[in-house]
Structure 1
Amino acid sequence: MKSKAIRLKIHQETANYRIPVSHQFRESYPLPPYSTVIGMIHYLCDFHEYHPMKLSIQGNYASTTSDFYTRYEFKNGMKYDDHRHNLNAEGMGISRGIGNIQLLVDVNLIVHIIPDNLDELETIYRALKYPREFPNLGRREDIANIHVDLVDIEKRELEKDVPVKNSFYIPREQINDDFNFLVKKDGGRRGTYYEINKNYSLVSTRRNQTERRWNRIQVLYASNFTLLEEGEFVFDEDNNPIFWPELSN
C-alpha cells in the first residue's frame, strides 16, 4: 500500500554534525543525527514544541578536512579574574582560545520525512520548499541547498538482490537476515554502531532546574551492503530504500 513522504535532497559544501562528547577536537558524525534534521525542520516550520515524525537519513561525502574555531570555556562558579579570563559575563569568567573542528566536504544527503500527523505533510513541505530564511544543517554557517519533493513510498518484497552504495543510519532493531553486510573476520558486521539523539523532553531536577532528557536511537552506520531477494523493505518511487525507527516519538 502506497503512502506519501517528503523527500529532501541536500547538498552542503562543508558540514560538521558535532559528536556531543568531542570538545578540544570537534569530531563530526558521518551523517546528521535525527535531532539535527528535526531541529532544522522545526525551526523552518516555526514549531515551538515537538511534532512527532519518522526520518530516514542516507548520504555520502567526498573527504574530510579540519579548520580552526574560536573555543570558549567556563566552569560553574568560576568568578571573573582579570588575569585568567578574556570575558566577564555578569561576574563569571570565560576563557577564549583556538580549537580544531572536523569538516565533511561535498556532502550529499537524501532525507525522507513522514510526520505522525499526516495533515502536517503540506505544512512541512511548503516550509522547506519556500523557507523563511536560507536553511543550514549542522553549524549556523553550514548552508544547505535543498530540493524538496512529495513522493510515494511503499513496502515491497524483493524479486532479486539489491545492492546499496549510499551510507545509511539503519535502526538496530531492523537489522535481520534480509541484509547482507560485508562481514569482518571476527564475524561482526562491517559498519559503526552509534546511539544518536532524536528528540528530547524537559524534566525537572532535584535542584529545581530544567534539563533535556534525550530519546536516543541505536543505529548501524553502514554502506555497500545488499538487500536480499525475498526480503521486505520500504522504497520511494525512485527506488531509494528507506530505513527509519519504527517509533516516531
Structure 2
Amino acid sequence: MRGIRLKLSQDMVNYKKPASFQLKETYPLPPYSTVIGMIHNICGYTEYHPMKISVQGKYFSKVNDLFTRYEFKNGMTYDEKRHQLNVNGYGISRGVATAELLVDVELLLHIVPEAEEDVQEIYDWLLRPLEYPSLGRREDLTVLEEVRIVEINEDVAGYDLELEKGYGAYIPVSYLMNDYVETRAVDGLEYSGTCYKLNKNYRLSNFGSDKAPKVFRRWETVDVLYGRDIQMKRKKPFYVDELGTCVFLA
C-alpha cells in the first residue's frame, strides 16, 4: 500500500491529555486525532477522510510554563468582586495555570489514507499547505523536514529490526497480542511501557431530541502501548516502508 512518510520537528509543544486541567499535561507523542486534525486542516478538508496513522519520535526534555487561563460558568452574570472581565454582562475569571511542554521534538509519521487518490492530494498539500502547519496547540508550529510518498508492505525479516535510536512509538495492543513486537522487560513484565487509550476520530451523536438537540462527539479510541527499546521479531510479519522503517498503523 502507498502512504506518506512525514518527518518533522518542533521547538516546544504540548499534546494535551483530555483529562488534565490544573496542570495541562502532555502525551509523549501526538495522539492519532491530533495528527489527523493537522492533515485535515492543511488540506482544507471539511469532512472526515478515513486514514491509518503511525506515530513515533522522541523529545529532549520536559519543562513547565505558565499560561493565562480563562474560566466562566454558563449564564453567570458579571460580579466585579469575583470576575476580571465583563463580556456583555457575563463574568469571566482570568488567572495563571501551568502547561507541561516537550522540548526539541522529532517526529516520524506515516499517513495511509483509505482512498488511494488521497495519497497524492495530501502529499501536494503538505508541500504547499493552506497555512502554516501546527501540531498540538495552535501556536505549536512544525518544520517539515521530509515529505515523501512511500510503499508500505508486510515483510518477514531474518533479523530483529529496531526503531531509530532514542525513538519511542505508539504500538496498538493488537501488535503485542499477535506477538509481532517485543520491548525490554522490566521486573518480570512481558512488555514495558505506558498504556494509553488514544482518541482517533469521532462521530456526532445527538443525546437530546429533534426539537432540542444536544450534539456531542463520540470518540473512537485505540488502545496502545507507548514504549522504547522496541524490536520487531525476526521471522514475524510486520509493516515496513521502503526505507526499512517499522510502521505501526492504527
Say whether 1:190 aligns with 2:192.
yes
State how far apart, in whole Å, the 1-side matches of 2:76 and 2:95 are. 17
Secondary structure at the counterpart of residue 125 of structure 2: helix
Distance 1:10 1:22, change over 3 A: same
State the secondary structure of the residue aligned to 2:119: helix
* Partner residue of 1:235 out of 240, 245, 248: 240
SS at match of 2:200: strand
1:32 alignment partner, SS class? coil
Deviates more, 1:175-184 or 1:120-129: 175-184
Kept after mapping to 1: 8 A contact 2:183/2:191: yes
Deviation at 1:203, TM superposition (A): 1.1
Q: Deviations over 1:216-242 (max 9, x none)?
A: 111100111221110111111111100
Q: Partner residue of 2:69?
A: 71
Instruction: For 1:142 and 1:178, locate their aligned partners in 2 and report how far apart those are by CA, in whole Å.
Output: 34
* Structure 1 equivalent of residue 174 of structure 2: 173
**1:158 CA drift (Å):** 1.4
Query: Could you state the TM-score of these two structures normalised by the residue count of structure 2?
Result: 0.93
Paired with 1:140 and 1:187, the residues of 2 have a C-alpha distance of 39
Deviation at 1:78, TM superposition (A): 2.3
**Range moving further from structure 2, 4-13 or 207-216:** 207-216
2:32 matched residue in structure 1: 34
Q: Distance in 2 between matches of 1:89 and 1:186?
A: 58
- The 2-side partners of 1:89 and 1:216 are apart by 37
Shift of 1:186: 4.4
The answer on whether the counterparts of 2:182 and 2:191 sit within 8 Å (CA) in structure 1 is: no
* Rounded Cα–Cα distance in structure 1 between residues aligned with 2:81 and 2:154: 64
Q: Which runs of 5+ in 1 are unaligned?
A: none
Which residue pairs with 1:152 in the alignment? 151
C-alpha RMSD of matched pairs (Å): 1.3
Where do 4+ consecutive residues of structure 1 move more than 4 Å?
A: none
Gaps of at least 5 residues in structure 2 are none
Opposite residue 5 of structure 2, the aligned amino acid is R
Give the match's secondary structure for 1:120: helix
Q: Which residue number in structure 2 is paired with residue 83 of structure 1?
A: 81
| Counterparts in 2 of 1:214 and 1:124: CA distance versus 1, 3 Å | same
8 Å Cα contact 2:26-2:101 kept in structure 1: yes
**Shift of residue 167 of structure 1?**
0.5
SS at 1:35 equivalent: helix
What is the one-letter code of the residue matched to 1:181? T
TM-score using structure 1 length: 0.93
**In structure 1, C-alpha distance between the alignment counterparts of 2:180 and 2:112, rounded to whole Å:** 24
Q: Distance in 1 between matches of 2:37 and 2:93?
A: 29
Give me the identity figure in percent.
44
SS at match of 1:48: coil
- Equivalent of 2:92 in 89, 94, 98: 94
> Secondary structure at the residue paired with 1:170?
strand
- Residue of structure 2 aligned with 1:204, choices 203, 206, 218: 206
